[in-house]
Amino acid sequence: MSEKKKEFKPFIPADKVMPEFTPTAVVLGIILAVVFGAANAYLGLRVGMTVSASIPAAVISMGVIRVILKKDSILENNMVQTIGSAGESLAAGAIFTLPALYMWAKEDPSIQIPSFLTISALAIAGGVIGVLFMIPLRTALIVEEHGVLPFPEGTACAEVLLAGEEGGSKSKLVFSGLGISALYKFVTDGLKLFPSEINWDLSFYKGSAIGFDVLPALVGVGYICGARVSSFMLGGAVLGWFVIMPLIHMLGALGGADMILFPATKAIADMAPGELWGSYIRYIGAGAVACGGILSLIKSLPLIIKTFKKAMKGFGHKGGELRTEKDLPLVWALVAVAVIAIILVLIPSVPISIIAAIIIVVFGFFFATVSSRMVGVVGSSNNPVSGMAIATLLFSTLILKATGNVGTQGMITAISIGTVICIIAAMAGDTSQDLKTGYIVGATPYRQQVGELIGAVASGLAIAGVLMLLNNAWGFGSKELAAPQATLMKMVTEGVMNGNLPWNLVFLGVFIALVVEIIGISVLPFAIGLYLPIHLSTPIMVGGLIKLLVTKLRKSKEEQKEAESNGILYASGLIAGEGLVGIALAILAVIGVGDKIDLTAHGIDLGQWGSVIFFVLMCATLVMASTKKHSKEDNSAAKKEEK
């Protein structure tokens, strides 16, 4: 093992100096951090899932730096994706918890809506601490475990950067997807030429319904996740909408026209499928998601123990003299963590007490090590951040309750703790992937760490503005922004603090998750599918099937890999485009322009079949992008232009 490590040489040798931490890289990285952070925030609040931004950021970076600016530095490109990917990770941590604070403020007028300072302070604190906690872990996980921990996204991103001569043509796929998606989103949810959600209640099978959210981001998510994960999500949705809901309706009919089952306040016989989902399936799904997240942590215990042993050894590491071995000073990092914790306590509008700050530091380091190790094994997409957040909320709420911090204020403090730790875990995972990419290409670790810190601060400020904007436009927990993960965290916190959850339904979800685990199906995607409306799982399944078909129809493995790569880049553009226009539509709604561009007010509406037609056309563009071949002539021409 040690011989292999000695033989490894990065693409750029340690003794070679190239442009890396440049104004161009910093500015472009910050822009991408804000763009992908905003897009992922919107996506996560709508469907409860986010996607990695590292590869799209790397591709866009190469398109701008290599093709437009005619500069040639792989380290500069790497710095852009390092800063840019921070936005996606911070957004993922923030949207899982922070909307709960807005929901409580909406339910109780005496509770103040979180201010920009409160949200940005919590977000930036989590982002910065997550990066700093990765400093003692870098040598243990990235260097000593090279060749052992695969770090899927980090390695894939390095491959993209190393194939930099294709950056110009590949970046067109991202921008094409972004443009198509942006136009589509504006037409359906801006002009409202056709509805973005179609639904059919099945009268012959009472209590069930089938539908689609005909949106490009969902198809993009399905393509990136693949048919297997998408099928697990759809399986969970089918169980909820075609088994449990009709069963509840049948039992309600047998119990009489006036039968009401807690927590609903309406007779079951009179409830539409959507009402059945909101009153019962949501709680069952919450139990399944919570159980799935905790099971993921339990299965990772060997990794957790091993990582902590490595982390303790890492505290004695000071960094080498070579450029590729230099980290930020560990002592400074520890002092910075302590200072940030103190600042959180001192800011009046931030509901963090001394006890809460101690919980953040202790649990933060614990989950930073867990997260960074887990993404090295299973990748960022499978990192159970929500499970870590649930475990944190359960423990912190119990501690707060035991120390007299009860009621609404106690719950707000618990969610604030969960927010910071959730972001710490997400950022630590992203930082480890980026450092892995840097290790392969020969980047300077301390410069990457500074880049991550810049991305965390920029993204923290941006996410605060985005959340305030989206809340003013539609409100969290609404049809437009279901905020499923944050709703789950809110339910967990309220349930522990007040004991008012329908626990029978929650435990029903827990045991469904256990059955799924026993038969060998991935619990989290199945549980998420059970928790979310079926309208979200169906288009995600379509995206997964498209990926399956376009890759299976390719003859050689090289063609399959090209089709998969092209599709992922185009799908990333679909996600980014919808997210950005979603933010733009929120701005129009806040300033009062949204209703004025609504074509339905003038009697123009293509109806549900119009939605189906446009959805099929949009899916066809994904198929075309995936199957597009880059000719040798195009590649040689691109190389000549670079020369």
Question: Do both 472 and 344 map to the same domain?
Answer: yes
Using alpha carbons, select from 292, 281, 286, 351 the residue that is nearest to residue 490: 286
Angle, helices 23-47 vs 54-62, to 10°: value is 140
d(CA 176, CA 182): 10
Distance of CA 82 to the CA centre of its chain: 16
Question: Do both 127 and 244 map to the same domain?
Answer: no
Question: Do both 329 and 465 map to the same domain?
Answer: yes
Question: Do both 327 and 407 map to the same domain?
Answer: yes
Residue 191 in domain: yes
∠ CA(327), CA(331), CA(336), 5° rounding?
A: 95
Residue 513 in domain: no
**Per-residue buried b or exposed e for 167-198, using 16+ beta carbons within 10 Å of the residue's own CB:** bbbbbbbbbbbbebbbebbbbbbbebbbbbbb
Residue 211 in domain: yes
Distant-in-sequence, close-in-space partners of 540: CB < 8 Å, separation ≥ 6: 47, 218, 219, 221, 222, 225, 230, 233, 234
Residue 312 in domain: yes
The model's confidence at residue 607, banded by pLDDT at 50, 70 and 90, is: confident
pLDDT in tens, 71-122: 778 899 999 999 998 888 898 889 989 999 999 999 888 888 999 999 999 9
Q: How far apart are the first and last CA of the chain?
A: 40
The strand pairing partners of 209, in sequence order, are: 201
Domain that includes residue 201, residue range: 179-275+535-642
Residue 525 in domain: no
How many domains is the chain partitioned into structurally? Answer: 2
Instruction: Decide if 505 contacts 284 (C-beta within 8 A).
Output: yes
Cα distances from 100 to residues 104, 405, 494, 501, 538, in angstroms, run 6, 18, 11, 16, 27
Instruction: Decide if 419 contacts 126 (C-beta within 8 A).
Output: yes
Question: Do both 462 and 601 map to the same domain?
Answer: no
What per-residue confidence (pLDDT) applies to 551?
85
Q: Is 350 helix (H, G, I), strand (E, B) or coil?
A: coil
Question: Do both 108 and 162 map to the same domain?
Answer: yes
pLDDT in tens, 631-642: 544 444 444 434
pLDDT in tens, 481-494: 888 788 878 888 88
Of the given ranges (10-19, 218-227, 287-296, 451-460), which has the lowest mean pLDDT?
Answer: 287-296
Angle, helices 216-239 vs 607-627, to 10°: value is 110
d(CA 609, CA 615): 10
d(CA 435, CA 143): 10
d(CA 155, CA 150): 7
Question: Do both 97 and 15 map to the same domain?
Answer: yes
596, exposed or middle or buried, with CB in 10 Å at 0-12, 13-18, 19+? exposed
d(CA 406, CA 497): 7
Distance of CA 247 to the CA centre of its chain: 33
Question: Do both 270 and 154 map to the same domain?
Answer: no
pLDDT of residue 2 exceeding 70, the answer is no
Question: Do both 388 and 340 map to the same domain?
Answer: yes
Instruction: Decide if 142 contacts 432 (C-beta within 8 A).
Output: yes
The single-letter DSSP state of residue 328 is P
Residue 230 in domain: yes
pLDDT in tens, 473-482: 888 988 778 8
Question: Do both 191 and 265 map to the same domain?
Answer: yes
Q: Is 87 helix (H, G, I), strand (E, B) or coil?
A: helix
Residue 526 in domain: no
- Name the residue with tokens 């995600």: 540
pLDDT in tens, 27-62: 999 999 998 888 888 878 876 666 666 767 777 777
Residue 514 in domain: no
How much is the pTM? 0.74
Q: Single out the residue in 461, 486, 504 at which a domain terminates.
A: 504
Question: Do both 14 and 96 map to the same domain?
Answer: yes
Angle, helices 99-107 vs 484-498, to 10°: value is 60
Instruction: Decide if 619 contacts 181 (C-beta within 8 A).
Output: no
**Per-residue buried b or exposed e for 557-581, using 16+ beta carbons within 10 Å of the residue's own CB:** eeeeebbbbbbbbbbbbbbbbbbbb
What per-residue confidence (pLDDT) applies to 543?
92
Question: Do both 319 and 425 map to the same domain?
Answer: yes
What per-residue confidence (pLDDT) applies to 52?
67
